[in-house]
Amino acid sequence: MHNQNGLIRQYSWELGIVHRLIDASVIALILWLAVIGYGANLVVHYQISAFISIISFWMVAEWHALYKSWRVDSLWREARTIFIVWMLTCAVLLVVGFLSKSTDELSRVSTLVWAVTTPLMLIGVRTIIRRAIRHFRKQGFNSRSVAIIGCGKQATKLLDVISKSPWMGLHVEGVYDNSRACE
């Protein structure tokens, strides 16, 4: 038995906002920890860097569809997307820093630690969220009904993948084909 009326679908817009706020919190927190951990002063340039990086990250993330449903995609694909989005965010920060001539106000060590650690933490948080969602999907929550059209090798392979992957929360309601090959 599965529960198709899950909270995730019902509150998907709100959860998207929460996901963005979690990403922003990770970006800002890692910067703060990198600066404080190195013993540097938390000058206004770090706050501006955090603000620009969060806005840039959100914009690039939208462009790369980071906030879509990752139900049937691998964690590797999501991690790769996070890494690409973060590298483009860092590129924006470098350009802004170069044009504003403000890079000398920032600790290179703190900035490097932040640039390297942030995508790892973003991926770590996503992994934790994925595991929690997968747990609920295995329990039958947040499931989706699917129909397979066709009965060839690809349909059989798809049916096998879905049946061996309860964490996706997909339940096959039927296999449909108008040819005699399915009989």
The per-residue pLDDT for range 7-66, each reduced to its tens digit, is 455 556 677 788 899 999 999 999 999 999 988 777 888 999 999 999 999 999 999 999
Tell whether 128 and 67 lie within a shared domain. yes
Q: Would 92 be classed as within a structural domain?
A: yes
**What confidence tens digit (pLDDT) does each residue in 154-175 have?**
777 877 777 776 666 677 777 7
Tell whether 69 and 103 lie within a shared domain: yes
Return the H-helix or E-strand segment holding 146: strand 144-149
12 lies in the same domain as 81? yes
List CB contacts of 127: < 8 A, sequence separation 6 or more.
Answer: 75
User: Does residue 59 sit within a domain?
Assistant: yes
Which of these ranges, 50-64, 117-131, 133-147, has the smallest mean pLDDT?
133-147
Residue 182 above 80 pLDDT? Answer: no
Calpha distance 165→153 (Å, rounded): 18
pLDDT tier at 1 (50, 70, 90 boundaries)? very low
Tell me which range, 33-42, 64-73, 132-141, is most confidently predicted by mean pLDDT.
33-42
Task: Provide the token pair at 47.
Answer: 């706050």
Same-domain check for residues 99 and 172: no
Same domain flag for 46 and 121: yes
Which residues are bridge partners to 107 per DSSP?
Answer: none
125 and 104 housed in the same domain: yes
pTM, two decimal places: 0.74
| Residue 94 domain flag | yes
Instruction: Give the highest mean pLDDT range of 55-59, 98-102, 139-143.
Output: 55-59
pLDDT value of position 94: 94
Domain residue limits at 126: 7-138
Both 178 and 89 in a single domain?
A: no
Q: 173: how many CB neighbours lie within 10 A of its CB?
A: 10
Assess if residue 2 is contained within a domain.
no
Contact present, 142 and 5 (Cβ < 8 Å): no
Same domain, 21 and 78: yes
Looking at the domain assignment, is residue 1 inside a domain? no
Q: Taking the CA atoms of the chain, what radius of gyration do you get in angstroms?
A: 22
User: Strand ranges (DSSP E) for 35-136?
Assistant: none
Which of 32, 33, 61 lies closest to 49 in space, CA to CA? 32
Together in a domain, 172 and 119: no
Is 164 part of a structural domain of the chain? yes
Domain shared by 124 and 175, yes or no: no
Predicted pLDDT of residue 102 = 83
Q: Are 90 and 60 in contact (CB under 8 A)?
A: no
Is 15 part of any domain?
yes
Measured over all CA atoms, what is the biggest interatomic distance in the chain, rounded to whole angstroms? Answer: 74
Number of domains in the chain: 2
Residue 6 neighbours by CB under 8 Å, 6+ apart: 136, 141, 142, 143
Examine the domain organization and report whether 152 and 80 are in the same domain: no
Q: What is the pLDDT of residue 74?
A: 82
Residue 46 forms part of a structural domain = yes
Do residues 173 and 121 both lie within one domain?
A: no
